[in-house]
């Protein structure tokens, strides 16, 4: 029997590899074909990914079981039909990602729930940290660069394929987005990221992904059960000493809706109550993640065994 960490790594690596080649295919296709013509290829690729990975499919079914219990109004059930709908949603989200990177999706194509606040932050002299997730399409954040000040985005990832994804984004024209591979948070990395924030750049990190190579987590309640969330984002935020915002971008009624809201003016981790503070921040994030997850449950693209039980 393999260790849980090995299961997560295998599932994650398979999904990353599939995502990388899927984006390559879509970028090439969208350069020579229109989006409507590309949709059948998206359907076929989604079906292949759905059928070829029992582990990833099983993670989707496990997630749908929890949604069926916690969000019965969604009508979703842990069936192959709804799991395939989950995979199809991921394929279409990648089309949106490429549209965003290529500049075809601009800020006017996005409905911002708090547009004024987002533009105010974008025009500030110092950068911020944006805490995102694998819910929806975080890449829509790049559309902000099509109006007013262009914001340089540094997206922190744990994937070994970061340079490959950067290459795809350069081909698509996304020059103000850089994926920064972070396997561990050391002093050199923290100083580099703080310098970027001081230059007015944004540091973007997902709060719902446990690092592949391990890392400390705390347990939170999500969809009624215990789940581990990483403490890394909050440790990093305390070192950057800058405001932290949440961003969730959901596709609703055929249009992207961005929800940008303050999370903390500063993340403080007092030595005497550090563990309690980390748990409080992680649970606060989990609460907001669940709030938006309930609005679009098929758009949470976290295809691995997430819960502890």
Q: Mind listing the pLDDT tens digit for each residue in 179-233?
A: 676 766 778 888 999 999 999 999 999 999 876 556 789 999 999 999 999 999 9
pTM: 0.83
Is pLDDT of 8 > 80? no
User: What pLDDT score does 223 carry?
Assistant: 95
Structure tokens at 46: 């989604």
Is pLDDT of 160 > 70? no
User: What pLDDT score does 37 carry?
Assistant: 72
**Exposed/middle/buried for residue 291 (C-beta within 10 Å: 0-12, 13-18, 19+):** exposed
Structure tokens at 80: 């192959």
pLDDT band for 12, please (50, 70, 90 cuts): very low
98-102, 107-111, 221-225, 268-272: least confidently modelled range: 98-102
Using CA atoms, how far apart are residues 35 and 6, in angstroms rounded to an integer? 37
Contact assessment for residue 84 and residue 50, using Cβ atoms and an 8 Å cutoff: yes
Contacts of 69 (CB under 8 A, 6+ apart): 223, 224
Q: Mind listing the pLDDT tens digit for each residue in 38-89?
A: 777 778 888 888 998 899 999 999 999 999 999 999 999 999 999 999 999 9
User: What pLDDT score does 303 carry?
Assistant: 82
In the chain, where the domains are located: 4-299
Contacts of 282 (CB under 8 A, 6+ apart): 207, 218, 220, 229, 231, 234
Using CA atoms, how far apart are residues 230 and 235, in angstroms rounded to an integer? 10
Using CA atoms, how far apart are residues 24 and 57, in angstroms rounded to an integer? 22
* Average pLDDT, rounded, for the chain: 81
Structure tokens at 249: 């971008």
């Amino acid at each position: 029997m393999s260790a849980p960490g090995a299961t997560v790594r295998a599932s994650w690596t398979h999904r990353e590899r599939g995502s990388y080649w899927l984006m390559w295919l879509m970028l090439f296709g969208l350069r020579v074909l229109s989006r409507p013509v590309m949709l059948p290829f998206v359907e076929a690729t989604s079906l292949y990914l759905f059928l070829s990975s029992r582990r990833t499919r099983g993670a989707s079914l496990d997630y749908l079981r929890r949604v069926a219990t916690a969000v019965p109004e969604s009508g979703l059930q842990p069936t192959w039909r709804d799991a395939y709908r989950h995979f199809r949603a991921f394929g279409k989200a990648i089309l949106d990602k490429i549209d965003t990177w290529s500049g075809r999706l601009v800020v006017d194509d996005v409905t911002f729930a708090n547009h004024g606040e987002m533009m105010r932050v974008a025009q500030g002299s110092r950068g911020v940290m944006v805490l995102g997730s694998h819910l929806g399409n975080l890449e829509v954040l790049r559309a902000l660069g099509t109006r007013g000040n262009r914001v340089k985005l540094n997206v922190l990832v744990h994937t070994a394929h970061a340079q490959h994804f950067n290459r795809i984004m350069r081909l698509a024209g996304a020059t103000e987005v850089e994926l920064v591979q972070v396997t561990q948070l050391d002093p050199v990395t923290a100083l580099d990221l703080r310098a970027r924030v001081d230059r007015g750049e944004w540091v973007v990190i997902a709060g719902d992904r446990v690092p592949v190579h391990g890392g400390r987590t705390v347990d939170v309640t999500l969809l009624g059960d215990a789940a581990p969330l990483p403490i890394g984002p909050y440790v990093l935020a305390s070192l950057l000493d800058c405001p932290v915002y949440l961003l969730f971008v959901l596709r609703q009624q055929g249009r992207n809706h961005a929800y940008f809201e303050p999370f903390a003016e500063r993340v403080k981790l007092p030595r005497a109550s550090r563990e309690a503070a980390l748990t409080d921040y992680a649970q606060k994030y989990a609460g907001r993640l669940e709030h938006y997850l309930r609005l679009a449950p098929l758009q949470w693209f976290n295809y691995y065994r997430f819960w502890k039980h």
